[in-house]
Amino acid sequence: MAIKLSGELIKAIARHSEAAYPSECCGIMLGEDEGEQRRVVALLPQINQSEADEQYHRFLITPEMMLAAEKQARAQRLDVIGFYHSHPEDEARPSHFDREHAWPWYSYIVVRVRDRKYDKMASWRLDDDRSHFDEEDIIED
Amino acid sequence: MAIITIPTPLRQYAAQQREVNVSGSTIDEALGSLTAQYPELRRHLYNDNGNMRNFVNVYLNDEDVRYLKKGNTTVAEGDTISIIPAIAGGSAVAAANIAERTADQSLSHDEILRYSRHLLVPEVAMDGQKKLKAASVLLIGAGGLGSPAALYLAAAGVGRIGIVDFDVVDSTNLQRQIIHSSEAIGTSKLASAKARIEGLNPYVKVETYETFLTSANALELFKDYDIIADGTDNFPTRYLVNDACVLLGKPNVYGSIFRFEGQASVFYAKEGPCYRCLYPEPPPPGLVPSCAEGGVLGVLPGTIGLIQATEAIKLILGIGEPLIGRLMLYDALSMRFRELKLRKDPDCPICGEHPTITALIDYQAFCGVTSADEGITEVDISPLELKERLDRGEDLMLLDVREPHEWDIAHLEGATLIPVNDITERAHELSTADDIVVYCKAGTRSARAVQQLQMLGFRKLHNLRGGINAWANQVDPTMPSY
């Protein structure tokens, strides 16, 4: 499994994660799925809708935001293929909380921010039985 | 006929279709029609109780059906129903809090050597070892569970370990409480534990609190620790630890043991269920015996205490899958681990959506506990008083309510054995006309037997204060206590 992003899009996610620090940033990824590989074509950065004092460790994209993103994707003949969010001062891997709130198939990119600076990112997919995430390769193209 | 749009991740369970035509005149019927056509969808839309997963939302055209008539919302010909996930997530809170402090940490050459086997593990490495050093864990109790947990947490390099206990080491502890040595008998458990930890790892700061944990001091004690590890053996303290952790937003690494069986979980209300979601009400007092009453296999707390230590370390490092929302059951006799899924109870009185408990309460009263000095004072009899009355030749019936294997260790001469759980059934063997002195090992089970007999109409009842152990101490030094 792999997900392709252009260098531009990777930079955009990194910038968003630094701008949101110390809160978590979040966004929706539109793209094309070709089975084993998928490609991100556009990012829809979102405003974190979780409670203000919880944003250092929580993000929320509301169903209304999702509905709008689904419509936008359809109009461009794309799909919502996943989401990105940051973990300020924490690992680039999904938390238990992330797993409870995830669906299989989607790609979840988690960004580690250290000392206010973008550090690294990793992409994950939830297993079909919802028990764990598998890491997928991020390919810059 | 209406149309349901299928979000991309679920299309694989719906023959790759973007849209499915469904029948039905309400939302519930339409979704029923969908899952009848594609049963695999059910698992991703509904939880095991058959309720819609809390992050799944259903829209009729552009409106959330929660604000219409929910499942009963009418669906008309040509309507579009959308299944929309709310996307949420976040980092592991405990790990994030600790990670913030790791910048100030550094390891000396000696520490690097000491923790070398950690530093070689990519998931721990230098970063993780600094997190451990920056972290703090408070152990409630330096007993069976607290002993192994404290030793391994200290060896692993957890920077600050606090221990709450008020007991002194006695020889019955040594069968399992491995942090204490024979020389420590009669001295404070805290002093003994502190000395042992400092001998093991001088880089650990040990803080000791020689006090009963109460509603008055729990929040103050807990607030400066990242993780609380509950190693207590009684329900009032267990609920107190849980509630204080929920109110402070801290993870409670829980363990409990009885004879050959143990349980462990991580109760962390920010990310999953709490102890009250699992057990909303305490059992009736006396129903679940403690280790002091029921006994325990000495190695058992080693296994459970180390599960607690493992979970604490995972939380600190932010790695792996924490035991949140899962209850681990361990049976030493069959050597099997089982796992139960725990769910957060939306109606939980402390961590639910509308909490009714917003401050610590009286946990003794909540658990219906009255100490031997309360409530039954009128029937209490001390070992010396009993001895005097027997010496005077008074006609007292001695009722032993322990188990047969305890009777074999020691018993009072002329006593009758009826284990406490058989009392109600076998009450006909007793006479209400007799003066009955009830005893057990330490006075708890006999107090329960007295209550049960009172309910059956017995009035001339006495409870031997401190049980047969007190008799051995005060009256008959030739008798073994246990």
Enumerate the residues of chain A whose CB falls inside 8 A of the CB of residue B93: 57
CA B227 to chain centroid: 14
Which of A123-127, B1-5, B100-104, B425-429 comes out lowest in average pLDDT? B100-104
Distance in angstroms (rounded) separating the CA atoms of residues A106 and B84: 13
Of A75, A74, A79, A104, nearest in space to A28 by CA: A79
Per 3-state DSSP, what percentage of chain B is helix, strand, and coil (rounded to 5)? 40, 20, 40
DSSP per position, B75-136: --TT-EEEEEEPEEE---HHHHHHHHHGGG----HHHHHHTHHHHTSTTTHHHHHHHHHH-E
pLDDT tens-digit map of B430-442 = 887 788 999 999 9
* Residues B217 and B363 sit within 8 Å (Cβ to Cβ): no
Question: Which of the following is catalytic: B245, B277, B291, B367?
Answer: B291
Q: Find the closest chain B residue to A62 by CA distance.
A: B86
Percent of chain B topping pLDDT 70: 93
* Residues B381 and B467 sit within 8 Å (Cβ to Cβ): no
Predicted confidence (pLDDT) at residue A4 exceeds the cutoff of 80: yes
- Phi, psi torsion values for B339, nearest 5 degrees: -135, 130
pLDDT tens-digit map of B345-375 = 888 999 988 889 989 988 877 877 654 434 3
Predicted confidence (pLDDT) at residue B308 exceeds the cutoff of 80: yes
pLDDT at A138: 95
pLDDT at B286: 62
Distance in angstroms (rounded) separating the CA atoms of residues B411 and B418: 12
pLDDT band at B28; cut points 50, 70, 90? very high
First to last CA, chain A: 15
- Phi, psi torsion values for B324, nearest 5 degrees: -90, 135
pLDDT tens-digit map of B453-477 = 877 767 788 999 999 999 999 999 8
Q: Above 0.85 for ipTM, yes or no?
A: no
Distance in angstroms (rounded) separating the CA atoms of residues B120 and B18: 48
Of B137, B145, B147, nearest in space to B256 by CA: B145
pLDDT band at B57; cut points 50, 70, 90? confident
Which pair of tokens denotes residue A10? 């990777």
Distance in angstroms (rounded) separating the CA atoms of residues A58 and A85: 9
B469's enclosing H/E stretch is: helix B467-474
B342/B264: higher pLDDT: B264
Residue among B42, B63, B91 with most chain A CBs within 10 A, to mutate: B91
CB contact under 8 A, B59 and A95: no
Predicted confidence (pLDDT) at residue B212 exceeds the cutoff of 50: yes
Of B144, B147, B136, B148, nearest in space to B192 by CA: B147
pLDDT at B377: 40
SS3 state at A86: strand
Detail the DSSP E strand segments found in B268-362: 326-331, 336-341
Distance in angstroms (rounded) separating the CA atoms of residues B15 and B289: 56
Q: Find the closest chain B residue to A70 by CA distance.
A: B7
Of B420, B338, B437, nearest in space to B383 by CA: B437
Which of A116-130, B84-98, B108-122, B375-389 comes out lowest in average pLDDT? B84-98
CB contact under 8 A, A98 and B89: yes
- Phi, psi torsion values for B21, nearest 5 degrees: -80, 135
Enumerate the residues of chain B whose CB falls inside 8 A of the CB of residue A33: 8
Question: Which of the following is catalytic: B245, B348, B351, B440?
Answer: B440
B291 carries an active-site annotation: yes
Chain B residues within 8 angstroms (CB to CB) of chain A: 5, 7-10, 12, 44, 55, 57, 59, 62, 64, 82, 84-93, 95-96, 99-100, 103, 271-272, 318-319, 321-322, 324-325
pTM: 0.61
Distance in angstroms (rounded) separating the CA atoms of residues B265 and B329: 9
CA B65 to chain centroid: 39
Residues 6+ apart with CB under 8 A from B405: none
B320/A40: higher pLDDT: A40
